[in-house]
Structure 1
Amino acid sequence: MCGRYTVITPGPSLEQRFDASFSDAAPTANYNVAPSQRMPIITNLAPHDIQAVQWGLIPAWVKDLKQAPKPINARAETLPEKPSFRQLLQRRRCLVLADSFYEWQQTARGKIPHRILREDEQPFAFAGLWDEWADRSTGEVIPTYTIITTDPNELMARLHNRMPVILPDRAAELAWLSEDATAAEHQALLRPLPDGLLREYAVTTLVNSPAHNDPSVLEPAAAA
């Protein structure tokens, strides 16, 4: 799964990298993104806008917001099988902007957090789905998103049995947002990132708490 990540790349660099502009002021660096926070995404309906949207999907059909599960991840393999996800795969795809993510490895010493980033340390995009939920009593519209996960590549298999879908290059990002591609073509993009593009290292348990949101969470853990 993907339950924490980082967005520490400066706003202007994100705009240049993704050929898009922030709709509002660029957010401050976030070293420990957690569910329910509003983070930058680019939707298929506004491919040149970077919008701050809440992490944790609330589908449009939800009636009781308090009881809604708000999934932060969606399994790539089952998207076509679930009506709500199948419709979003066809209508509402997004790029979730990031520059690293965290995963917890189960060991005899307990769960050890690791930071995973590209070898070139450049920002990248998770494949995501988004939707808008409207409060019928107030008219408030709440956009939300979820990150799609898939089987792990060789590096991630050492840490966990799932990994987020990281689109490997600009062509794949544009194809994911494209309104001209078929559902099958979109589904074909949801595969593990090829080996050799990522690196990882263990970090301290500071990252376990979202309250720790500063450069200290990026520091390598002391060798055991």
Structure 2
Amino acid sequence: MCGRYGFGNPARMGTLPLGVELPPLEARFNVAPSQAVPIVVQGRSGSRRAGLARWGLVPSWADDPSIGNRLANARGDTVATKPSFRGAFKARRALLPADRFYEWQVLEGQKVKQPWCIQLPDDAPFCFGGLWEQWVPHAGSDGASDAVSLVTCCLITTEPNATMTPIHDRMPVIVAPADYAAWLDPGTPAPVAQALIRPWEGPMHAFPVSTYVNAPRNEGPACSAPLS
């Protein structure tokens, strides 16, 4: 799974060919599930919009939004069939801009996993492939509810590429800019969208970082500073 990521240079994310302006963002180096993240979505009218969503998908049918705590990631091999994700995969795919993500490597004989930061060359921005949902609280027997509606999202993961294989057995899907339109379009046939769930084929660089990133409360460039 992918449990953390970041956008250390938000201004550069504006260079992505998203067709819409992202909301104002502060630099983040340790984004964790349950936090607000930028997403780009497209409706059936063809218009795109950008905004913030809570990381951790809450299906529209859920009674309790706490289910999102367990749905930060969706496996690409079952996303089209699992009840929690299949509706969103069919009609509510999203792009999540970023410029780094983290994974934790199991080390033989070690109790503590080694965190790694993974980026594209020149720390270029990119977009994860994800899903989004609009959750509306269900009214109680008295017709009222104290809960508020939520826009939530998740990342999709797939098999690792050559860079990721020594580190972890999964990696987040990174959508190539040439595929943004097909990924976002609700009218794209499911088999075509499924074919875009694949390991990143371009170059990447990965480097170990301090366990400082392990704590969600920690933030700043130290989270992705290479170990000396």
Q: Deviations over 1:23-56 (max 9, x none)?
A: x5x1211110001000101012275432111000
For 1:83, what is the secondary structure of its paired residue? Answer: coil
| Whole-Å separation in 1 of the counterparts to 2:164 and 2:93 | 24
Return closer, same or farther for 1:70/1:111 CA change in 2, 3 Å cut-off. closer
- 1:42 pairs with one of 34, 40, 43: 40
Higher helix share: 1
Cα deviation for residue 67 of structure 1 reads 5.6
Question: Is structure 2 residue 169 aligned with structure 1 residue 161?
Answer: yes
Return closer, same or farther for 1:47/1:98 CA change in 2, 3 Å cut-off. farther
Cα deviation for residue 170 of structure 1 reads 1.2
Q: TM-score, structure 2 length as denominator?
A: 0.89
For 2:89, what is the secondary structure of its paired residue? Answer: helix
- Letter in structure 2 aligned against 1:185: V
| Whole-Å separation in 2 of the counterparts to 1:220 and 1:207 | 12
Q: Which moved more, 1:85-94 or 1:46-55?
A: 46-55
The 5-angstrom pairing of residues 19-168 of structure 1 reads: 19-22=19-22, 24=23, 26-45=24-43, 48-66=48-66, 69-108=69-108, 109=110, 110-135=112-137, 136=139, 137-138=145-146, 140-167=148-175
Cα deviation for residue 68 of structure 1 reads 5.8
For 1:206, what is the secondary structure of its paired residue? Answer: helix
**Stretches of structure 2 lacking an aligned partner (at least 5 in a row):** 140-144
| Whole-Å separation in 2 of the counterparts to 1:157 and 1:10 | 28
Question: Is structure 2 residue 213 aligned with structure 1 residue 207?
Answer: yes
Cα deviation for residue 171 of structure 1 reads 1.2
| Whole-Å separation in 1 of the counterparts to 2:107 and 2:158 | 22
Higher strand share: 1
| Whole-Å separation in 2 of the counterparts to 1:175 and 1:105 | 33
Return closer, same or farther for 1:191/1:175 CA change in 2, 3 Å cut-off. same
**Stretches of structure 1 lacking an aligned partner (at least 5 in a row):** none
Q: Considering only aligned residues, what root-mean-square deviation do their CA atoms show, in Å?
A: 1.8
Return closer, same or farther for 1:47/1:32 CA change in 2, 3 Å cut-off. farther
Q: TM-score, structure 1 length as denominator?
A: 0.90
Provide the aligned length of Structure 1 versus Structure 2.
217
| Whole-Å separation in 2 of the counterparts to 1:67 and 1:144 | 11
Answer whether contact 2:76 2:156 (CA < 8 A) is retained: yes
- 1:219 pairs with one of 188, 202, 225: 225
- Letter in structure 2 aligned against 1:52: L
Cα deviation for residue 215 of structure 1 reads 0.9
| Whole-Å separation in 2 of the counterparts to 1:151 and 1:66 | 28
| Whole-Å separation in 2 of the counterparts to 1:184 and 1:174 | 15
Answer whether contact 1:58 1:70 (CA < 8 A) is retained: no
Question: Is structure 2 residue 3 aligned with structure 1 residue 3?
Answer: yes
